[in-house]
Amino acid sequence: MTVPFGTVFCDWMTTAPTKDGVYQYGGNVEPYGDFSLSPAAHALHYGSAIFEGLKAHWQVDGSLAIFRLDDHVTRMCQSAELLRLPALDAAVLRQMIVDTVEANVGEVPPPPGSLYIRPTLIGTEPNIGAAATPTSEALLYIVNCPVGDYFKGGVRPLTLLVEEDIPRTTPQFGMVKSGANYAMALSPTLDAMAENAAVDQILFATGGDITETGAANFFLADDDRVVTRQLDSSFLHGVTRSSVIALAEDLGYEIQERPIELEELEDWAGRGEAFLSGTAAVLSPVGTMLRGNSKIVFGDGEPGTNTLRLRESLVAIQNGSGDDLHGWRTTVQS
Ligand SMILES: *Cc1c(COP(=O)(O)O)cnc(C)c1O
């Protein structure tokens, strides 16, 4: 059975509106449902909206654990700061996430399904004159979705289309997990996909410099090395990316965090592998890349052995069958 990604919502949510810029969380979950918003709300006019995406997984011992909760909380606090939303209290955000997941525990699907957690923060100040000022008030809320595979068809090699002209977002906005970045990528993505129905994702490589795809980070791998772009403000610093790096290190791979040029892909394709990482994408093998009229096929176009090995070690930590050497699991129900 496949659960549609992001279209089914669990019964319970949590909300914390600000009062005088301070988040008010009463410690109770509420039934999932619509809320009212001023037509002049800052988020609707000036884009003061951010989100997070993380998952809770059933563990092999029957408990439920959230994967890398504190890292997602930290990143959301950082996104709020970069978009000048009222400063988040990490402890409150963390508690809201845990409370929501505990309330929805009966709706978490069995593996390979999981519970997707979507914390969201929007600017609510009713003031359309506030174009050049930050929102003074905001609403923080957490909703959950039971989810299955993000890419249709489970673990299968993806086809990426290389975009060399249009950047995914503006460089200074790349690190903010915000809907605005997706809005910017939408039109070029649709245009590119219209010409080729077989494309799963666009790989942004402005001027030949690879950043990431629409919603996942990009990796190259061979038997000895794992390569990904070095951290800079041009792209979203995935928690999955950092997990893959740590696990690859544990497995003895040499890690290279450096610029990746389109020009080296042809060479890698002949002897190595490529994959994407993200909470939704997990670790997804790349089989083919389309660049202009040329087609770059990695290996035989099937998932590579190193990719599958890294994926297995990631999934093992997520589902509790592997040792949690890095302290990434938060048990919410034992
Ligand atoms: C969320 C996101 C990712 C993946 O980040 P994870 O923390 O691994 O889920 C990658 N790119 C973009 C643009 C994102 O919004």
Chain segment 191-245, per-residue pLDDT in tens: 888 877 788 899 999 999 999 998 899 999 999 999 999 999 999 999 999 999 9
Distance CA 115, CA 50 (A): 20
> Per the structure block, which two tokens stand in for 329?
């699991």
Residue given tokens 């399904």 in the structure block: 113
Distance CA 79, CA 121 (A): 10
CB 144 within 8 A of CB 104: yes
Region 21-36 average pLDDT: 96
> Per the structure block, which two tokens stand in for 252?
């003895």
Residue 3's pLDDT is: 58
DSSP three-state, residue 249:
helix
Region 14-20 average pLDDT: 98
Location of each CATH 3.20.10.10 domain in the chain? 158-318
Query: For the segment 153-162, what is each residue's pLDDT rounded down to a tens digit?
Result: 668 899 999 9
> Where are the alpha helices (H) located in 57-178, listed in sequence order?
69-82, 90-103
What angle, rounded to 10 degrees, do the helices at 69-82 and 90-103 form? 130
DSSP three-state, residue 276:
strand
Residue 184's pLDDT is: 87
Q: Is the CB of 112 under 6 A from ligand 1?
A: no
Residue 334 banded pLDDT, cuts 50, 70, 90 = confident
- CATH (residue range 158-318): 3.20.10.10
Location of each CATH 3.30.470.10 domain in the chain? 12-147
Q: Is the CB of 283 under 6 A from ligand 1?
A: no
DSSP three-state, residue 191:
helix
DSSP three-state, residue 266:
helix
Specify the ligand 1 atom closest to the Cα of 182: 13
Name the CATH topology of 12-147. D-amino Acid Aminotransferase; Chain A, domain 1 (3.30.470)
Q: Is the CB of 237 under 6 A from ligand 1?
A: no
Query: For the segment 255-306, what is each residue's pLDDT rounded down to a tens digit?
Result: 999 999 999 999 999 999 999 999 998 999 999 999 988 999 999 999 999 9
Going from the Cα of 217 to the center of ligand 1, the distance in angstroms, rounded, reads 7
Bridge partners, 163 (sequence order):
204
Q: Is the CB of 236 under 6 A from ligand 1?
A: yes
Distance CA 323, CA 246 (A): 13
Q: What is the mean pLDDT of the chain?
A: 94
Is 62's pLDDT higher than 90? yes
Pocket test for ligand 1, best of 178, 203, 217 (most atoms within 8 A of CB): 217
CB 278 within 8 A of CB 240: yes
**Percentage of the residues of the chain whose pLDDT score is greater than 90:** 83
Region 314-325 average pLDDT: 96
Going from the Cα of 80 to the center of ligand 1, the distance in angstroms, rounded, reads 16
> Per the structure block, which two tokens stand in for 273?
């592998």
Distance CA 242, CA 249 (A): 11
Is 141's pLDDT higher than 70? yes
Bridge partners, 330 (sequence order):
66
> Per the structure block, which two tokens stand in for 187?
């039109």
Going from the Cα of 108 to the center of ligand 1, the distance in angstroms, rounded, reads 22
Distance CA 166, CA 159 (A): 19
Specify the ligand 1 atom closest to the Cα of 279: 9
Minimal-distance CA residue to ligand 1 atom 10: 216
Q: If 0-12 CB within 10 Å is exposed, 13-18 middle and 19+ buried, where does residue 254 land? A: exposed
Region 168-191 average pLDDT: 88
Specify the ligand 1 atom closest to the Cα of 174: 13
Is 152's pLDDT higher than 80? no
DSSP three-state, residue 145:
strand
Residue 193's pLDDT is: 82
Residue 2's pLDDT is: 60
> Per the structure block, which two tokens stand in for 112?
């390979």
Query: For the segment 75-126, what is each residue's pLDDT rounded down to a tens digit?
Result: 999 999 999 999 999 999 999 999 999 999 999 999 989 999 999 999 999 9
CB 54 within 8 A of CB 117: yes
The CA R_g of the chain, rounded to the nearest whole Å, is: 20
Residue given tokens 């963390």 in the structure block: 94
Residue 33's pLDDT is: 97
Region 18-40 average pLDDT: 97
Pocket test for ligand 1, best of 72, 82, 228, 236 (most atoms within 8 A of CB): 236
Specify the ligand 1 atom closest to the Cα of 72: 7
DSSP three-state, residue 83:
coil
Going from the Cα of 229 to the center of ligand 1, the distance in angstroms, rounded, reads 14
Is 315's pLDDT higher than 90? yes
Pocket test for ligand 1, best of 68, 163, 177 (most atoms within 8 A of CB): 177
Q: If 0-12 CB within 10 Å is exposed, 13-18 middle and 19+ buried, where does residue 263 land? A: exposed
